Amino acid sequence: SWSSGTIAAGGSKSVTVTFKPTAVQTYSGTVTVNSDKTSGTNTIAISGAGTQAVVSYTISGYVKNAGSAAISGVTLTFSNSGGTATTDTSGYYSKAFTAAWTGMVTPSKSGYTFSPTTRSYSGVTTNQTNQNYTGGVAPTAFRIWIDKNGNGIYDSGEGVSGASVRVNSETTDRGVTDSQGIIAIPNIANDAKIYAQKTLYSMSNPKAVDANFANTRSKNPYFAGTVNGKMYDFVMASDIMAADGTYTDFPGQGKTLLNAAKDTQGNMLIRLVHPKIGWNLVVSFEEAQSTAFYDQIKSGFKSYANYMYNYTDGYFVVKNVVLVKGAYKDTPQWNYSDVQVKNSEWPNAHIFGNRYNWQAHIHMSKYFNGMDIYSGDPSLYNWYSTLGHESGHYLLGFWDEYLSGSKQKYQINGTGTWTYRIAHDGGTGETNEFPNNYGVMQSQYNGVHEMSDATEYYPHNYSSADIVTNQSYSRQGQSCWTYFKSYYQNDIKTQMAANGLTGFSDAFFNNLIVPPHTTGSYPGSDRTKRNGPAVMNRDTVSFIEWNLPAARSTRQSQNVFDADAVVLDETGTPVSGADVWLVSSDRRSFQGKTDKNGIVKCGSLLIGKHLEAYLNGRKAENMIDIVRERYTLIFPVNKRDNLSTDMIITAKPDSTNPYRLTITASGSSLSSAPSVTLSQSHNYSVSVSMTASGANQFSGVADCQYDSGDLKIALGGSESSGQFGIFSTESGPASGYYIPGGELEMAYEPTSFSGTGSFVIMSSSVPVPSNNGMIQIGNVYSFGFSDTVGAVRNVMFNIRLPESGKGVNLNLYGWDIQNKTWMLIQGGSLDKKQFSISLASVDYPAYALFTIPQANDPEPPNPVTGFTASTGTSLWSVNLQFTAPGDNVGVSDYDIRFNTVPVTDDNWDKCLSVGNVPKPASPGTLQSFSTEMPDPDTVYYFGIKAIDEADNSSTLTTSSLPVKSQAADTDGDGMPDAWEKSNGLEPNINDAENDDDGDGLTNLQEYQSHTDPQHSDTDRDGYSDGDEIAQETDPNDSESHPMSSSAVLGDVNGSGGEPDLADAILALQVVAGLNPQNININADVNGDNRIGLEEVVYILQKAAGLR
């Protein structure tokens, strides 16, 4: 510290010598003083010691997997006696040092590898943060295999080559297996999920031949995108079905890869256990649709895909849906599509319509809602579940289960034709051998997302057509599940052999498709129903919008829109039941019948087209000149001659040429030939020359180009419309033949037709000859059978009724064309929506419903009171209760509907009807019942209206509060099965009062609080779920946690006061690694149980008054 200067005689000078030791040892040296006084050099010896410096620092970081999920329990070993550290549940580790350290850190955990494998340090004296590692399961190879011999264990040669593999939620493959079925995937976490799949073969679609499309591949929609002419792909996958029906990627629910078996070479074995039939469907439309409607179609098909996946327990997958554009009704693309979406059609389908090269389809109405075909929406449950029902016919070969073997409905007003079932269905003194609902092939609307199984078909003689379901009768006693298993196992076996896939044993195929109800689902208090699989696992629907090349309607389809048509009479009163048509230069398309408000939804509107309405010989029309939300059509004053223009129109096909029709008009006073024009698609129109063919009768012949069309009939100021379809007795739909427009279904037996041939069914709005002063309801329905058909016996007519004006004492009458009079048909039954009657034979060419005129009753019933809804006690159910209202004449029905949003008058038409509604009781009676809902554990809103015999409706009454449907809860412990399975609990054991994670909350309280029953601190904020619930903070929000009674946030020194600079200094010392004493860890502000920079900032802001 001193280099030169003067020292007085007898004085002294202190000199400090500073040195920096590099080790703990003794150091020595000399200090030399040169003096000009003595002219000499004086040397002074000195010495000092190097001692250990005191330091404080940490080495810290996180260990996580490739998906950034924490890996707990990892041991980090510090060499050179540095000790160890272990990661916590967040993957965090920290190791403190008080001296400089040099060495290596090595992470380890059984079954894992890490990157980097080590970290090296030299002379560390400061904090080392973010010293992170990425861990994963050791890169042991996976072997993907199929149990070819069916013995349940891996045997040599069962590896699957070319199988693709994905990890966790990845949407791209990690690679494919080699020739031995092996693939190595490094760095995978122990809790990772693995999904492997292999397409074994593809089934060609018989309709996909180019010959159906003018031998032009570019006109063939079955080759759109990746469809490539395939009907389906058969895939085997590794995801595993749990008890609740949910599919989870390998190794399954509640398991880790450490549970997985290995082969003798150490390869982890992943078995392909999930067979999937991945369908491709071509969907066509009657005419161009609006963008909004296409969006509804896509939404509906996505839900339909999940619905089918659900009820087939994951065996049915929808892969591609081709939406045909630019080619509409009566084009090859329409004729050979899988699904035809018509403007107005009661849904129906052909059995195995996809298995042959023929014009068979699923027919769907644009607006079907389960009750009618005019007010639904493809995105709603009743539409897509009905598509699922029809797919049971078309794709899976099922017959209906709401019909008996003779295709008769089993119950009509408490009676029916199923003699055995009615005598054994649990009535007074009877055994209960039958479920209320067999499943989707009986009724798809009440939430039973299942197929019938063998336990529901009690052994009795299925050859007797009146005592079994049509499915059982037609499939020799097989339930839907039994038939599905047997047919597709044989089909897959045949196709695999044809594709050169050998070495698979019978045991493999016998175990391929396993019905779920191995112990039986009926009889009992409820069907065995599961929440899952609610959605497809790993599969998504791809929509391919296919346009016919150079289609002239491409431009038009871009401008198409939807709107309402409202039909009024000359006084401005809404007209119910009017037929509404959309007319363009090249086609006429039926839009539907108006409701009680005179409204019908219309699609495919385009400027330049026009709307027409017909009823009782009157015609109204309106040009579409600009885009509107509603178009009004007003009937002119009725000036027609009621006697001379009333008639019945029928059509009969030629025996050798079914497209040549003889059209006949007959009436009791018909004296002149009507003008009849037959129209079909693509601007085809022919005027039919009508000449006298008998008393009050005129006929003419017209040739058709297509199998459906319409008629325009005019006479004496009367104008009417009709639509017809040409059918064959040899290719009937599964449920029955449906008249164009969907108002009438003719259900038939296999022996209904004594011969084979074609026939025509027609619906017309033409004014009919009088019938003793009675009022006709709906349209006239005519039947014309070719001479080769012969007698038609044992059929049932199911006639959809108009929304209003149907009256009481409704009866069916047949038109006696010889005597020009109406004949009463005895029998029949009536409910709110349908009139049904069985006919021993079809004896008349036309039929119509008539009712007795009723006294004028404009007064509606009183509103329903006391309407409440509550969660039911059985699966998926809701209990409804209300007090029966009064009426001046009498209440005849209740109309109860539901929605997932509040029910209002504005959305009433979009709400779905409740099933199992009781008949009205005496006014003031408390009525209650339970009904099944489409989905479990779902919030629903309800509304009710009372209806009297004059079809007057009361004002809307809504339930006081929304209510949740009952979730599936097998053990009755208040926690849904799906939630228990996903949270590691047991759905078959009542474990509601257990506290598995020790946080002070029972499992039931965890469910009610939406917390994790397997972790005491769901939001990882350092406070247990029980403490947070007790102190009314949110256990699911890490920013919300209890305030400690002994500390204030930021009070690092524990003084009990507000944070100040002293706290800030102490916190900075912690951050700097100086390890000050007496730190109050409860002062932590961000819930990570440490004092860090966030605490420093918080304290400074508090001290500065910024907080």
367-383 pLDDT per residue, tens = 887 767 777 789 988 89
pLDDT at 532: 66
**Phi, psi of 686, deg, nearest 5:** -140, 135
What CA dihedral angle connects 1032, 1036, 1040 and 1042, to 10 degrees?
A: 50
Q: How far apart are CA 331 and CA 286, in angstroms?
A: 10
Residues 924-953, mean pLDDT to the nearest whole number: 85
pLDDT at 1087: 62
At 421-446, the pLDDT tens digits run: 767 766 667 666 677 678 889 888 76
pLDDT at 155: 94
Residues 1054-1082, mean pLDDT to the nearest whole number: 80
Choice between 1013 and 805, residue whose per-residue pLDDT is larger: 1013
pLDDT at 526: 40
Whether residue 139 is preceded by a cis peptide bond, meaning omega within 30 degrees of 0, is no
Amino acid at 818: Q
Q: How far apart are CA 861 and CA 258, in angstroms?
A: 68
Contacting residues for 626 by C-beta, under 8 A, at least 6 apart: 607
Closest CA to 280 of 539, 571, 657, 663: 539
649 exposure class (CB count in 10 Å sphere: 0-12, 13-18, 19+): buried
Contacting residues for 357 by C-beta, under 8 A, at least 6 apart: 206, 207, 209, 212
Q: How far apart are CA 516 and CA 215, in angstroms?
A: 45
Q: How far apart are CA 851 and CA 834, in angstroms?
A: 14
pLDDT at 1024: 82
Whether the per-residue pLDDT at 866 is higher than 80: the answer is yes
| DSSP conformational letter for 954 | P
3-state secondary structure 16-47: CCCCCCCCCCEEEEEEEEEECCCCEEEEEEEE
Residues 1032-1048, mean pLDDT to the nearest whole number: 67
Closest CA to 451 of 494, 400, 381: 400
Going from the C-alpha of 192 to that of each of 137, 175, 177, 253, 978, the distances in angstroms are: 9, 16, 19, 12, 21
**Phi, psi of 589, deg, nearest 5:** -125, 130
- Asked whether 603 and 378 are in contact (CB, 8 A), the reply is no
Among 64-68, 189-193, 331-335, 1023-1027, top mean pLDDT goes to 331-335
Choice between 717 and 208, residue whose per-residue pLDDT is larger: 208
For 243-256, letters b (16+ CB in 10 Å) and e give ebbbbbbbbbbeee
In 3-state terms, what secondary structure has residue 64? strand
Closest CA to 346 of 399, 388, 308, 383: 383
At 575-609, the pLDDT tens digits run: 988 999 999 988 899 999 998 889 999 989 999 99
Residues 130-149, mean pLDDT to the nearest whole number: 88
pLDDT at 197: 97
What confidence category does residue 525 fall into, taking pLDDT thresholds of 50, 70 and 90? very low
What confidence category does residue 903 fall into, taking pLDDT thresholds of 50, 70 and 90? very high
pLDDT at 428: 66
Place of tokens 């020292």: 7
- Asked whether 1028 and 1035 are in contact (CB, 8 A), the reply is yes
| DSSP conformational letter for 211 | G
Average pLDDT taken over every residue of the chain:
86
Detail the DSSP E strand segments found in 923-1053.
Answer: 926-932, 939-948, 957-958, 963-964
Tokens representing 363 are 């027919």
Residues 1026-1052, mean pLDDT to the nearest whole number: 73
Among 634-638, 685-689, 912-916, top mean pLDDT goes to 685-689
At 277-318, the pLDDT tens digits run: 999 999 999 999 999 999 999 999 999 999 999 888 899 999
Tokens representing 291 are 């963008």
Domains and CATH numbers, the chain: 57-137 (2.60.40.4130), 142-394 (no CATH), 401-474 (no CATH), 560-634 (2.60.40.10), 649-850 (2.60.220), 865-964 (2.60.40.2550), 977-1030 (no CATH)
pLDDT at 982: 72
pLDDT at 807: 57
Whether the per-residue pLDDT at 1078 is higher than 90: the answer is no
Whether the per-residue pLDDT at 702 is higher than 90: the answer is yes
Q: Percent of the chain having pLDDT more than 90?
A: 50
129 exposure class (CB count in 10 Å sphere: 0-12, 13-18, 19+): exposed
- Asked whether 514 and 241 are in contact (CB, 8 A), the reply is no
Lowest average pLDDT, out of 179-193, 387-401, 493-507, goes to 179-193
Whether the per-residue pLDDT at 783 is higher than 50: the answer is yes
In 3-state terms, what secondary structure has residue 589? strand
- Asked whether 860 and 891 are in contact (CB, 8 A), the reply is no
Contacting residues for 663 by C-beta, under 8 A, at least 6 apart: 649, 650, 651, 676, 678, 688, 690, 699, 700, 701, 702, 711
What confidence category does residue 742 fall into, taking pLDDT thresholds of 50, 70 and 90? confident
Whether the per-residue pLDDT at 408 is higher than 50: the answer is yes
Strands of the sheet containing 829-830, edge to edge, are 737-738, 744-748, 793-800, 834-841, 829-830
Contacting residues for 1098 by C-beta, under 8 A, at least 6 apart: 1049, 1050, 1059, 1085, 1107
Whether the per-residue pLDDT at 965 is higher than 90: the answer is no
What CA dihedral angle connects 946, 950, 952 and 953, to 10 degrees?
A: 20
Choice between 745 and 965, residue whose per-residue pLDDT is larger: 745
Whether the per-residue pLDDT at 237 is higher than 70: the answer is yes
pLDDT at 524: 41
Closest CA to 374 of 583, 588, 598: 598
Q: How far apart are CA 765 and CA 767, in angstroms?
A: 6
Angle between helices 1093-1103 and 1061-1071 (to 10 degrees): 170
- Asked whether 148 and 201 are in contact (CB, 8 A), the reply is no
What confidence category does residue 522 fall into, taking pLDDT thresholds of 50, 70 and 90? very low
What confidence category does residue 412 fall into, taking pLDDT thresholds of 50, 70 and 90? very low
Amino acid at 468: V
For 1005-1025, letters b (16+ CB in 10 Å) and e give bbbebebbbebbbbbbbbbbb
pLDDT at 57: 93
Whether the per-residue pLDDT at 1046 is higher than 60: the answer is no
3-state secondary structure 147-200: CCCCCCCCCCCCECCCCEEEECCCCCCCEECCCCCEECCCCECCCCCEEEEEEE
At 482-512, the pLDDT tens digits run: 899 999 999 999 999 999 999 999 999 988 8
Q: How far apart are CA 1068 and CA 1089, in angstroms?
A: 16
DSSP 1094-1105: HHHHHHHHHHTT
Among 97-106, 801-810, 971-980, 1010-1019, top mean pLDDT goes to 97-106
pLDDT at 535: 83
In 3-state terms, what secondary structure has residue 124? strand
Q: How far apart are CA 217 and CA 645, in angstroms?
A: 52
Contacting residues for 768 by C-beta, under 8 A, at least 6 apart: 646, 647, 648, 776, 780, 848
Q: How far apart are CA 318 and CA 566, in angstroms?
A: 38
Residues 956-979, mean pLDDT to the nearest whole number: 76
DSSP 498-514: HTT-----HHHHHTTS-
pLDDT at 518: 46
Contacting residues for 1081 by C-beta, under 8 A, at least 6 apart: 1089, 1090, 1091
Whether the per-residue pLDDT at 853 is higher than 90: the answer is no
pLDDT at 324: 97
Residues 338-356, mean pLDDT to the nearest whole number: 93
pLDDT at 968: 64
pLDDT at 748: 87
Among 190-194, 523-527, 853-857, top mean pLDDT goes to 190-194
